[in-house]
Amino acid sequence: MKDLNLILILIDSGRQDYMIKSEMIRKLRSKFSFFTNVITYAPHTIASMHAIFSGCYGNRTGTNSYWSTFKFKKNKFKTLAEYLYELGFKTYADVHSDIVSPKQGFNQFRIYDEETVDITTRHCDLLNEISNERKKFFVYLHYSKIHTGIKNEVLKKYSNFSEDYYKNLKLNEERYERLFHESENYLNEILETICSLELEKNSIILIMSDHGISIGEKMGEIAYGAFCYDYTLKTLSLIKFPEITPIQINQQIRSIDMMPTILDILDIQVDKQFDELDGRTLMPLILGNNMDEEIAYSETGNPLNEKRPPREPNTMSVRTSKWKFIHNVHNNTKELYDLENDPSETKNLFGTNLDIENYLWEKLENIRNNF
């Protein structure tokens, strides 16, 4: 096994398009492997983070909704933190809620109050504290302030069908820009701290977001978690470790691929005593080689007119870099989008006799029923 620490910086609700445009992120391209097109399993934190940590889709792990943190099948799926813990890493998580990610494998699972916390100071202090440890470490730093801002300024004021919200797109954009800019400042300070502590020399640094967020694109979703459209499914990842040759990878990959990639970088064998992973290592891409594109499966629970998300997903999608197929189980409707020519997913091509329709429907059924 390689002698490296792991630092995971998670920007909760970081939109892919804003991150790509970000000057701060742009600067990192010269040092990192930059995945510009990462599709999340779930457009909300809980199921998304469980999938990231397990390298598996939530329909298999049991955590497929806001309600299913405790349904995660610990006996069948081993998390990244568990792998590292068993290999002697000291493992830390610092997050805003007890239920956002699997706790198993963490020596310390710290919770902060998202309303009052100074996350930047807290996480810089944590890095300082950990760097004094003699042991190798894994630290998962969850930046939740975009979520907090959206909670207070959007979720508390509007419903998914508030016309006021959709009328004022400029205000929505400005709000998100402001919140996103704060996350850039946070990231900048964290990376400076990592640099000053000389942790770059012996650490894997992984920066990613768990899902995107709406700024009013589609009526019925004021933030995230209701639909499977690209503004919430598309995320971004940057990964860096010693001796890496920076590269930009625009090919579609999946957030569940990050966990097997980390295991591969660290030379850790997948534990055969647990169920197989859905994700796969992206090392060939990082090394500049080709890999076939995999279909990305996503699902969420549309609350429709209710004030609470459903306990089971009712909206599923499969995505290639060219096409998206969506099945809305709640009303048994289907959608098909040509992503290359219609990236905003405005023109539903389902039922127009395209061959791809049946192919993607079959793929969706196969993945959905594989549990």
Partner 1 sequence: MRPNVLFILVDGLRADQCYGVDKKSHTPFLDSLINDGVYFNNAFSSVDGTILALSTIFNSLFPFNTGVRERRIVFTDNNIFNIFQKNKYHIFGLVPDMEIYEPLKKKFENKLNSYDWINGNESLATGLTKKIIDILQSNNSEPWISYFHVLDLHPLREGKIPKGIEEFESSDFGSSSYSKTVSSIDYWFGKILECVDLSNTIIILTSDHGEKIPYKGITNTDMEHRLDRTKKIGKSILPKKTHEKAGKMLSKIRTSISKPKIIIENQELTNYQKRSRTPYFTLSLHDESLHVPILIVGKGISQCLIKNFVRHVDILPTLCDILHFELPQKINGVSLKPLLEQKQIQENIQYLHTIPYEKPHQDDAVGIRTNKYKYFRSAQNPNKNIHLYNLQKDPHENHNISQNNQNVVKELEEELSRLIKNPITFNEEMSDEDDKKIEEELKKMGYL
Binding region for partner 1 (CB under 8 A): 62, 66-67, 69-71, 73-76, 78, 86-88, 96-99, 114, 147, 150-152, 155-156, 225, 271-273, 307-309, 371
Phi then psi for 82, rounded to 5 degrees? -65, -40
Cα separation, 295 vs 218, whole angstroms: 24
CB of 144 to partner 1, least distance (A): 9
One-letter identity of residue 276: E
Nearer to partner 1, 71 or 280 (CB): 71
Coil, strand or helix: which one is 335?
Answer: strand
Cα separation, 103 vs 93, whole angstroms: 8
Nearer to partner 1, 257 or 278 (CB): 278
Residue closest to 186 by CA, chosen among 119, 97, 93: 119
CB of 348 to partner 1, least distance (A): 28
CB of 238 to partner 1, least distance (A): 26
- Note whether 39 and 235 are within 8 A (CB): yes
Assigned token pair, 361 = 């429907």
CB of 99 to partner 1, least distance (A): 5
CB of 350 to partner 1, least distance (A): 30
Nearer to partner 1, 45 or 252 (CB): 45
Nearer to partner 1, 105 or 319 (CB): 105
Nearer to partner 1, 275 or 293 (CB): 275
Nearer to partner 1, 23 or 307 (CB): 307
Q: Measured over all CA atoms, what is the biggest interatomic distance in the chain, rounded to whole angstroms?
A: 62
Nearer to partner 1, 78 or 319 (CB): 78
Cα separation, 327 vs 334, whole angstroms: 5
Work out the number of other CB atoms within 10 angstroms of the CB of residue 357: 17
CB of 145 to partner 1, least distance (A): 13
Work out the number of other CB atoms within 10 angstroms of the CB of residue 274: 18
Q: DSSP characters for 79-96? A: -HHHHHHHTT-EEEEEES
- Note whether 257 and 35 are within 8 A (CB): no
Nearer to partner 1, 163 or 308 (CB): 308
Nearer to partner 1, 215 or 286 (CB): 215
Residue closest to 154 by CA, chosen among 223, 249, 79, 230: 223
CB of 42 to partner 1, least distance (A): 13
CB of 66 to partner 1, least distance (A): 6
Nearer to partner 1, 263 or 282 (CB): 263
CB of 237 to partner 1, least distance (A): 23
- Note whether 233 and 38 are within 8 A (CB): no
- Note whether 334 and 361 are within 8 A (CB): yes
Residue ranges with strand state E in 241-320: 247-249, 253-254, 296-300, 315-319
CB of 266 to partner 1, least distance (A): 15
Q: Which residues, 6 or more positions from 25, have their beta carbon under 8 angstroms from its beta carbon?
A: 19, 184, 236, 238
Q: Which residues, 6 or more positions from 370, have their beta carbon under 8 angstroms from its beta carbon?
A: 59, 60
